Amino acid sequence: MALVEDLVQDRIGYVTLNRPEKRNALGPEMVAGLVRAFEKLLADDAVKVIILRANGDAFCAGADLAYLQEMQHYSYEENLSDSTRLKDLFLQIYLSKKVVIAQVQGAALAGGCGLITVCDFVFAVPEAKFGYTEVKIGFVPAIVMVFLIRKIGEARARQLLLTGDLIPAEAAVTSGLVTRVVARDQLESEVTEFARQLIATASAQSLAMTKRMMAEVQQLPLEEALVFACQQNAHARRTDDCKKGIDGFLRKQGITW
Protein backbone atom coordinates (compact mmCIF):
# COMPACT_ATOMS: atom_id res chain seq x y z
CA MET A 1 0.00 0.00 0.00
CA ALA A 2 1.42 3.37 -1.05
CA LEU A 3 1.76 5.92 1.75
CA VAL A 4 0.97 8.67 -0.76
CA GLU A 5 -1.30 8.21 -3.75
CA ASP A 6 -1.62 10.43 -6.81
CA LEU A 7 -4.39 10.66 -9.38
CA VAL A 8 -5.35 12.90 -12.30
CA GLN A 9 -9.00 13.46 -13.14
CA ASP A 10 -10.57 16.19 -15.27
CA ARG A 11 -7.38 18.33 -15.22
CA ILE A 12 -7.23 18.15 -11.40
CA GLY A 13 -4.32 16.38 -9.74
CA TYR A 14 -4.94 14.67 -6.40
CA VAL A 15 -2.26 13.94 -3.80
CA THR A 16 -3.64 11.74 -1.02
CA LEU A 17 -2.01 10.93 2.31
CA ASN A 18 -2.76 7.24 2.77
CA ARG A 19 -1.68 6.14 6.22
CA PRO A 20 -4.98 6.39 8.11
CA GLU A 21 -4.04 3.81 10.76
CA LYS A 22 -1.23 6.17 11.88
CA ARG A 23 -3.31 9.34 11.43
CA ASN A 24 -1.23 10.07 8.31
CA ALA A 25 1.79 10.87 10.47
CA LEU A 26 4.88 12.13 8.73
CA GLY A 27 8.14 10.24 8.46
CA PRO A 28 10.94 10.06 5.90
CA GLU A 29 9.01 7.71 3.61
CA MET A 30 5.85 9.84 3.73
CA VAL A 31 7.81 13.01 2.99
CA ALA A 32 9.61 11.31 0.09
CA GLY A 33 6.27 10.05 -1.25
CA LEU A 34 4.79 13.54 -1.15
CA VAL A 35 7.79 14.98 -2.99
CA ARG A 36 7.48 12.33 -5.73
CA ALA A 37 3.73 12.83 -6.08
CA PHE A 38 4.02 16.60 -6.41
CA GLU A 39 6.94 16.28 -8.85
CA LYS A 40 4.83 13.99 -11.02
CA LEU A 41 1.75 16.23 -11.03
CA LEU A 42 3.70 19.46 -11.47
CA ALA A 43 5.36 18.01 -14.56
CA ASP A 44 2.03 16.87 -16.05
CA ASP A 45 0.74 19.53 -18.46
CA ALA A 46 -2.76 18.05 -18.20
CA VAL A 47 -2.91 19.06 -14.52
CA LYS A 48 -4.03 22.63 -13.84
CA VAL A 49 -4.83 22.51 -10.10
CA ILE A 50 -3.67 20.16 -7.33
CA ILE A 51 -5.76 19.05 -4.35
CA LEU A 52 -3.94 17.76 -1.26
CA ARG A 53 -6.17 15.48 0.80
CA ALA A 54 -6.01 12.53 3.21
CA ASN A 55 -7.71 9.25 4.02
CA GLY A 56 -8.99 8.50 7.51
CA ASP A 57 -10.13 10.60 10.46
CA ALA A 58 -7.08 12.88 10.63
CA PHE A 59 -5.54 14.98 7.89
CA CYS A 60 -2.04 14.67 9.38
CA ALA A 61 -1.07 14.32 13.03
CA GLY A 62 2.51 15.53 12.62
CA ALA A 63 5.61 13.41 13.06
CA ASP A 64 5.32 9.65 13.44
CA LEU A 65 6.09 8.41 16.99
CA ALA A 66 8.61 5.82 15.79
CA TYR A 67 10.29 8.53 13.73
CA LEU A 68 10.50 10.80 16.80
CA GLN A 69 12.16 7.98 18.75
CA GLU A 70 14.65 7.34 15.97
CA MET A 71 15.39 11.04 15.64
CA GLN A 72 16.78 11.16 19.19
CA HIS A 73 19.82 9.21 17.98
CA TYR A 74 20.53 11.38 14.92
CA SER A 75 23.74 13.35 14.65
CA TYR A 76 23.59 17.07 13.84
CA GLU A 77 24.38 16.27 10.19
CA GLU A 78 21.59 13.66 10.03
CA ASN A 79 19.12 16.08 11.61
CA LEU A 80 20.14 18.80 9.17
CA SER A 81 19.70 16.48 6.19
CA ASP A 82 16.31 15.33 7.49
CA SER A 83 15.15 18.92 8.12
CA THR A 84 16.27 19.90 4.64
CA ARG A 85 14.06 17.24 3.08
CA LEU A 86 11.01 18.65 4.87
CA LYS A 87 12.03 22.19 3.87
CA ASP A 88 12.29 21.05 0.24
CA LEU A 89 8.77 19.59 0.37
CA PHE A 90 7.26 22.77 1.85
CA LEU A 91 9.11 24.92 -0.67
CA GLN A 92 8.02 22.66 -3.53
CA ILE A 93 4.36 23.22 -2.61
CA TYR A 94 4.74 26.92 -1.79
CA LEU A 95 6.54 27.73 -5.06
CA SER A 96 4.41 25.41 -7.18
CA LYS A 97 3.38 27.00 -10.48
CA LYS A 98 0.01 25.34 -10.01
CA VAL A 99 -2.54 26.26 -7.36
CA VAL A 100 -2.59 23.80 -4.46
CA ILE A 101 -5.76 23.39 -2.39
CA ALA A 102 -5.76 21.55 0.94
CA GLN A 103 -8.90 19.51 1.62
CA VAL A 104 -8.84 19.03 5.39
CA GLN A 105 -11.26 16.47 6.82
CA GLY A 106 -9.67 16.19 10.28
CA ALA A 107 -6.90 17.35 12.59
CA ALA A 108 -3.82 19.00 11.06
CA LEU A 109 -1.13 19.22 13.72
CA ALA A 110 2.55 20.21 13.84
CA GLY A 111 4.08 19.10 10.52
CA GLY A 112 0.58 18.40 9.24
CA CYS A 113 -0.35 21.99 9.95
CA GLY A 114 2.85 22.94 8.16
CA LEU A 115 1.57 21.16 5.06
CA ILE A 116 -1.62 23.19 4.92
CA THR A 117 0.29 26.40 5.67
CA VAL A 118 2.14 26.22 2.35
CA CYS A 119 -1.01 25.54 0.30
CA ASP A 120 -2.74 28.38 -1.56
CA PHE A 121 -6.22 27.61 -0.25
CA VAL A 122 -7.45 25.52 2.67
CA PHE A 123 -10.97 24.11 2.96
CA ALA A 124 -11.79 22.39 6.26
CA VAL A 125 -14.66 20.69 8.03
CA PRO A 126 -16.02 22.40 11.19
CA GLU A 127 -14.61 19.60 13.39
CA ALA A 128 -11.03 20.04 12.18
CA LYS A 129 -8.40 21.22 14.67
CA PHE A 130 -5.20 23.06 13.83
CA GLY A 131 -2.05 23.64 15.84
CA TYR A 132 1.72 23.98 15.80
CA THR A 133 2.37 21.89 18.89
CA GLU A 134 6.16 21.63 18.62
CA VAL A 135 6.97 23.79 21.68
CA LYS A 136 5.00 21.42 23.90
CA ILE A 137 7.56 18.66 23.32
CA GLY A 138 10.63 20.88 23.47
CA PHE A 139 10.87 21.19 19.71
CA VAL A 140 10.91 24.32 17.52
CA PRO A 141 8.45 24.99 14.63
CA ALA A 142 11.42 26.32 12.72
CA ILE A 143 10.68 25.57 9.08
CA VAL A 144 6.96 26.29 9.06
CA MET A 145 7.59 29.57 10.91
CA VAL A 146 9.15 31.08 7.77
CA PHE A 147 5.96 30.40 5.79
CA LEU A 148 3.43 31.09 8.55
CA ILE A 149 4.69 34.62 9.27
CA ARG A 150 4.39 35.39 5.56
CA LYS A 151 0.87 33.98 5.49
CA ILE A 152 -0.79 35.43 8.59
CA GLY A 153 1.66 38.00 9.98
CA GLU A 154 3.95 37.97 12.99
CA ALA A 155 1.41 38.74 15.74
CA ARG A 156 -0.93 35.87 14.87
CA ALA A 157 1.99 33.55 14.16
CA ARG A 158 3.45 34.30 17.60
CA GLN A 159 0.17 33.37 19.26
CA LEU A 160 -0.01 30.02 17.48
CA LEU A 161 3.68 29.08 17.56
CA LEU A 162 4.50 30.12 21.14
CA THR A 163 1.41 28.61 22.79
CA GLY A 164 1.16 25.45 20.71
CA ASP A 165 -2.58 25.62 21.33
CA LEU A 166 -5.09 23.86 19.11
CA ILE A 167 -7.66 26.08 17.41
CA PRO A 168 -10.95 25.10 15.75
CA ALA A 169 -11.64 25.61 12.06
CA GLU A 170 -13.61 28.84 12.49
CA ALA A 171 -10.78 30.42 14.49
CA ALA A 172 -8.34 29.25 11.81
CA VAL A 173 -10.41 31.19 9.26
CA THR A 174 -10.23 34.32 11.41
CA SER A 175 -6.45 33.95 11.69
CA GLY A 176 -6.08 33.61 7.92
CA LEU A 177 -4.84 30.03 8.06
CA VAL A 178 -8.01 28.47 6.58
CA THR A 179 -9.92 29.80 3.58
CA ARG A 180 -13.36 28.34 4.18
CA VAL A 181 -15.20 25.97 6.54
CA VAL A 182 -17.43 23.46 4.76
CA ALA A 183 -19.82 20.80 6.07
CA ARG A 184 -18.25 17.35 5.98
CA ASP A 185 -20.73 15.94 3.46
CA GLN A 186 -20.02 18.86 1.10
CA LEU A 187 -16.24 19.15 1.50
CA GLU A 188 -15.15 17.07 -1.48
CA SER A 189 -17.72 18.52 -3.89
CA GLU A 190 -17.05 22.13 -2.85
CA VAL A 191 -13.27 21.78 -3.17
CA THR A 192 -13.65 20.11 -6.56
CA GLU A 193 -16.03 22.83 -7.76
CA PHE A 194 -13.64 25.54 -6.55
CA ALA A 195 -10.81 23.88 -8.46
CA ARG A 196 -12.95 23.66 -11.60
CA GLN A 197 -13.82 27.34 -11.36
CA LEU A 198 -10.13 28.23 -11.20
CA ILE A 199 -9.43 26.07 -14.23
CA ALA A 200 -12.33 27.60 -16.16
CA THR A 201 -11.84 31.26 -15.28
CA ALA A 202 -8.16 31.85 -14.52
CA SER A 203 -5.16 31.70 -16.84
CA ALA A 204 -2.60 29.09 -15.83
CA GLN A 205 0.18 31.47 -16.90
CA SER A 206 -1.28 34.30 -14.82
CA LEU A 207 -1.67 32.08 -11.77
CA ALA A 208 1.94 30.89 -12.04
CA MET A 209 3.30 34.43 -12.43
CA THR A 210 1.15 35.77 -9.60
CA LYS A 211 2.33 32.99 -7.26
CA ARG A 212 5.95 33.65 -8.15
CA MET A 213 5.57 37.37 -7.53
CA MET A 214 3.93 36.86 -4.14
CA ALA A 215 6.83 34.64 -3.11
CA GLU A 216 9.48 37.11 -4.25
CA VAL A 217 8.23 40.68 -3.71
CA GLN A 218 8.03 40.35 0.07
CA GLN A 219 11.80 40.10 0.40
CA LEU A 220 12.60 43.04 -1.87
CA PRO A 221 12.98 46.71 -0.90
CA LEU A 222 10.07 48.84 -2.12
CA GLU A 223 11.77 50.30 -5.20
CA GLU A 224 13.18 46.92 -6.27
CA ALA A 225 9.80 45.29 -5.74
CA LEU A 226 8.14 47.86 -7.98
CA VAL A 227 10.79 47.44 -10.71
CA PHE A 228 10.27 43.67 -10.53
CA ALA A 229 6.48 44.24 -10.69
CA CYS A 230 6.85 46.37 -13.83
CA GLN A 231 9.00 43.70 -15.45
CA GLN A 232 6.45 41.00 -14.66
CA ASN A 233 3.65 43.24 -15.93
CA ALA A 234 5.50 43.69 -19.22
CA HIS A 235 6.14 39.94 -19.53
CA ALA A 236 2.50 39.14 -18.75
CA ARG A 237 1.22 41.46 -21.49
CA ARG A 238 3.18 39.48 -24.08
CA THR A 239 1.83 36.05 -23.12
CA ASP A 240 -0.70 34.28 -25.31
CA ASP A 241 -3.12 33.98 -22.39
CA CYS A 242 -3.11 37.74 -21.84
CA LYS A 243 -3.57 38.57 -25.52
CA LYS A 244 -6.45 36.09 -25.85
CA GLY A 245 -8.00 37.26 -22.59
CA ILE A 246 -7.96 40.93 -23.52
CA ASP A 247 -9.24 40.18 -27.00
CA GLY A 248 -12.13 38.15 -25.55
CA PHE A 249 -12.95 40.87 -23.02
CA LEU A 250 -13.01 43.59 -25.71
CA ARG A 251 -15.25 41.49 -27.93
CA LYS A 252 -17.71 41.12 -25.07
CA GLN A 253 -17.76 44.91 -24.82
CA GLY A 254 -18.58 45.11 -28.53
CA ILE A 255 -15.11 46.40 -29.46
CA THR A 256 -13.50 44.80 -32.48
CA TRP A 257 -10.45 45.68 -34.54
The 10s digit of each residue's pLDDT in 79-137 is: 999 999 999 999 999 999 999 999 999 999 999 999 999 999 999 999 999 999 999 99
Contact 177, 152 (CB under 8 A): yes
DSSP state of 62: S
C-alpha distances (whole Å) from 137 to each of 133, 140, 165, 188 are 8, 9, 12, 34
Q: Quote the CA–CA distance of 204 and 48 in Å, as a whole number.
A: 7
Tell me the catalytic residues.
134
HSE-CB of 198 using CA atoms within 13 angstroms: 25
Residues shown for the chain: 257
Flag whether pLDDT at 250 surpasses 80: no
The confidence score (pLDDT) of residue 65 equals 83
The confidence score (pLDDT) of residue 242 equals 63
Q: Alpha-carbon torsion 53, 182, 206, 120, what sign?
A: negative
Q: Quote the CA–CA distance of 120 and 84 in Å, as a whole number.
A: 22
The confidence score (pLDDT) of residue 205 equals 87
Rounded (5°) CA angle 42-225-236 = 50
At residue 253 the predicted structure's pLDDT band, cuts being 50, 70 and 90, is low
pLDDT, tens digit (0-9, with 9 covering 90-100), for 43-55:
999 999 999 999 9
Flag whether pLDDT at 255 surpasses 70: no
Flag whether pLDDT at 36 surpasses 60: yes
Q: What is the 3-state secondary structure (H, E, C) of 14-36?
A: EEEECCHHHCCCECHHHHHHHHH
Question: In this structure, which long-range contacts are made by residues 155-163, counting pairs with CB atoms below 8 Å and at least 24 apart in sequence?
Answer: 160/131, 160/132, 161/132, 161/134, 161/135, 162/135, 163/135
Between 157 and 202, whose confidence is greater? 157
Q: Quote the CA–CA distance of 101 and 121 in Å, as a whole number.
A: 5
pLDDT, tens digit (0-9, with 9 covering 90-100), for 234-247:
887 777 776 666 56
